[in-house]
Amino acid sequence: MLIIPAIDIRAGNCVMLKQGKIDAETVYSKDPVFMAKLWQAKGASRLHVVDLDGAFGGSPQNLEIIKRIRAGISIPIQLGGGVRSLNTIDTLFDIGIDRIIVGTLAIYNPDIIRQAIEKHGRKLIVAVDVVDNKVAIGGWKETTSVEATDLAVKLKDMGIEEILSTDVKKDGMMEGPNIEGLRLIAKAARIGVIASGGISSLDDIRKLKEYEKEGIMGAVIGKALYTDAIKLEEAIKIGGK
C-alpha cells in the first residue's frame, strides 16, 4: 500500500486546513520545495501536492512553486487543485507532473475527463471527495446530490484506474479515516482507492492495510506527518512502499 505524504500549498506556504476551511489553516512550512525534498529523503515513493489557491480559485495559482518541486525531486508527483480544463491538464503534464487529480470536472464536465483519458490514459486520478456519502466539489465548497459510490462506478466505466477519496469531515481532524466509506467505494467500483482524510496514527494505516486486497491501494497523510503523530519511515514499513 502506497504511503503518500501531502503538501498543500496556499499563498506560497505549506499548510494544512481543517475540513477544507481557510479560516482553520495552520502553516507548517514556508518552503514547500524543502518539504518535498524531505519527504523524498525519508523514503516516499510518491508525493501528493494540492494547489489550494487553485482549488478555491478554479485554476492553478502556484505553478512556479510546483515547477520547483518537480525540479527538486525525482519521485512521481500527483497534483490537484483547480484542474478544470483539458488545457490545464496538458500544461501540468508538460511540466512533468506524473498524475493529475481532477474532481469538479467529474460532475460538471465528464466529457473533458473522457478526452483526457484518451490522451493520457491511466495518468488521470479522480478525486471523489465525500460529505455524508455525497460528492463534494469546488474546493469542497459545494456538496452535490451525487452518491460517491455511483460516481465511482461511472469513473470505472470511463476507464479511470485510481480514485482519491477524502472524507471532508475527517480531513485535518486527526480522528481516523472513514474506512467503511472507503471500502464501499472500492467494492462498488472495483477500482484502486487512495484514502485521504483523518489518518492520524500507525494503527490507522494498519487498519487500511487490511483492506488492500479489496482495493485500498494507498494512503495520503498530511497533518499527522507535520505534527510527528506519524513518522513517515514507520508508516512506509507498515504500508510496504
Give the CA distances from residue 52 to residues 108, 112, 124, 189, in Å, rounded to whole numbers and listed in that order: 20, 21, 19, 28
- Is 8 in the active site? yes
Q: Which of 103, 96, 122 is nearest to 50 (CA)?
A: 103
Predicted TM-score (pTM) of this structure: 0.92
Is 16's pLDDT higher than 70? Answer: yes
Q: HEC string of 188-233? A: HHCCEEEEECCCCCHHHHHHHHCCHHHCEEEEEECHHHHCCCCCHH
Q: Domain tally for the chain?
A: 1
47 has which bridge partners?
77
What pLDDT sits at residue 23? 74
What pLDDT sits at residue 63? 96
Assign residue 235 the CATH number of its domain: 3.20.20.70
Long-range contacts: 35-43, Cβ < 8 Å, 24+?
35/7, 36/7, 36/69, 36/72, 36/73, 37/72, 37/73, 39/5, 39/7, 39/225, 39/232, 40/73, 40/74, 40/75, 42/232, 42/233, 43/232, 43/233, 43/236
What pLDDT sits at residue 176? 83
Among residues 51, 53, 129, 171, the one annotated as catalytic is: 129
**Which strands, in side-by-side order, build the sheet including 142-147?**
129-131, 134-137, 142-147
Q: What average pLDDT does range 114-123 have in this prediction?
A: 90
- Is 150 in the active site? no
Report the C-alpha gap between 202 and 190 in whole angstroms.
Answer: 26
As given in the structure block, the three cell numbers for residue 25 are 489553516
- Which domain range does residue 158 map to? 2-239
What pLDDT sits at residue 9? 97
Report the C-alpha gap between 53 and 223 in whole angstroms.
Answer: 18
Confidence of residue 143 (pLDDT cuts 50, 70, 90): confident
